Amino acid sequence: MSDNNSPVTIIPEESCWGYLASQEVGRLGVSSHDVPEIFPINYYVDGESVIFRSAEGSKMDLLALNKNVVFEVDGWTDEGGWSVMVKGIAERITDEDELARARKAPLLPWIPTVKTIFVRVTPTIGISGRHFVFGPEPKQA
Amino acid sequence: MSDNNSPVTIIPEESCWGYLASQEVGRLGVSSHDVPEIFPINYYVDGESVIFRSAEGSKMDLLALNKNVVFEVDGWTDEGGWSVMVKGIAERITDEDELARARKAPLLPWIPTVKTIFVRVTPTIGISGRHFVFGPEPKQA
């Protein structure tokens, strides 16, 4: 997917978590009957997983049907950008100790609604990242 | 999904295209066998559709398997944010007149690679948007 002359470079897997930890808003991709949806979420990185808070609603309904998700975070400047994807599963946190820790986490209170659900995204397929550089377009054939 | 007292408000459908036109980078969600993926893309709004450029590769391979997509764009300030989703189908543009118009479009040359493929996302399920306000979290039960 990349070579020495390419302006697309693969971000080493061990660096991907650092990129994820640099942002606060990412996008959760879910799919039901192969019709995908994307929800922006406020998140934090917990070890090698991602935690977000949710209320009951369309996101949780979709996750009940299919827990395979992708979580994507990207960042941009005038010169280029990067994108990291976690492909894995999303599961509601039910363990009391984990919940107590999650309630103290630095998550923005997006909506003044009681949101007692915490969800953990764990990579099963994996984590991957790419770095893009903007540049002049070459002559087309 | 919203009421007068809620900090989540539905963006009227007729305003959603204006929100889409205000940004240059969005995220394309695709799914194969209900495993979703998200790709950031540079896009522009053409009437009531979204056009982006692509090279052959993983995105086009996935679209060949399943043309149902979601295209999501969001924006954020310290006070809140918004998110607009187009749920529809993605199809490669093959009409020569359309291609000629697309080649003149204001798309950033992300990668100096010959990218002769243009793809149009047309809403079939629809377009929808929501506006979020950040606020203090209420007392939990």
Helix/strand/coil (H/E/C) assignment for every residue in chain A: CCCCCCCCEEECHHHHHHHHHCCCEEEEEEEECCEEEEEEEEEEECCCCEEEEECCCHHHHHHHHCCEEEEEEEEECCCEEEEEEEEEEEEECCCHHHHHHHHCCCCCCCCCCCCCEEEEEEEEEEEEEEEEECCCCCCCC
Report pLDDT for A32: 93
**Which stretches of B1-141 are DSSP H helices?**
13-21, 58-65, 96-103
Q: What is the pLDDT of residues A80-119, one digit of tens each?
A: 899 999 999 999 999 999 999 998 887 866 555 566 799 9
Q: Which H or E run includes B11?
A: strand B9-11
Helix (H) or strand (E) segment spanning residue B71: strand B68-76
Query: Which 31-70 residues of chain A touch chain B by CB within 8 A?
Result: 31-40, 66, 68-70
Instruction: Give the pLDDT band of residue A16 (cuts 50, 70, 90).
Output: very high
Q: Which tens digit of pLDDT belongs to each residue from B63-102?
A: 999 999 999 999 988 778 999 999 999 999 999 999 999 9
Span B108-137, mean pLDDT? 80
Residues above pLDDT 90, as percent of chain B: 65
> To the nearest whole angstrom, how far is the Cα of A120 from the nearest Cα of chain B?
17
Q: Note the pLDDT tens digit of each residue in B25-37.
A: 999 999 999 999 9
**What pLDDT is stored for residue B2 in this prediction?**
38
Bridge-partner residues for B10, per DSSP?
B130
Domain ranges of chain A: 13-133
Architecture of domain A13-133 in this structure: Roll (2.30)
Decide if A119 touches B, using CB distance below 8 A. no
Residue A132 contacts B, CB cutoff 8 Å: yes
Q: Which candidate, A60, A56, A35, places its Cα nearest to that of B86? A: A35
The stretch B112-131 carries a mean pLDDT of: 88
Per-residue pLDDT, averaged over B98-122, amounts to 80
Mean pLDDT to the nearest integer, A14-25: 95
- pLDDT score of A36: 96
Kindly identify which residue of chain B lies nearest to residue A30, measuring between CA atoms: B36
Using the predicted structure, report yes or no on whether residue A136 has a pLDDT greater than 90: no
Question: Could you say which residues from 77 to 96 on chain B have a Cβ atom under 8 Å away from some Cβ of chain A?
Answer: 80-81, 83, 85, 87
Whether A39 and B83 have beta carbons less than 8 Å apart is answered as: yes
Asked if the C-beta of B133 comes within 8 angstroms of chain A's C-beta atoms, the answer is: yes
DSSP B68: E
pLDDT, mean over chain B: 86
What pLDDT score was predicted for residue A132? 84
Q: A55: which chain B residues are within 8 Å (Cβ-Cβ)?
A: none
pLDDT of residue A114: 61
Each residue of A38-84: pLDDT tens digit?
999 989 999 999 999 888 888 899 999 999 999 999 998 877 899 99
Fold of the domain built from segment(s) B9-133: Pnp Oxidase; Chain A (2.30.110)
* Rounded Cα gap, residues A106 and B5, in angstroms: 26
- pLDDT value, residue B96: 95
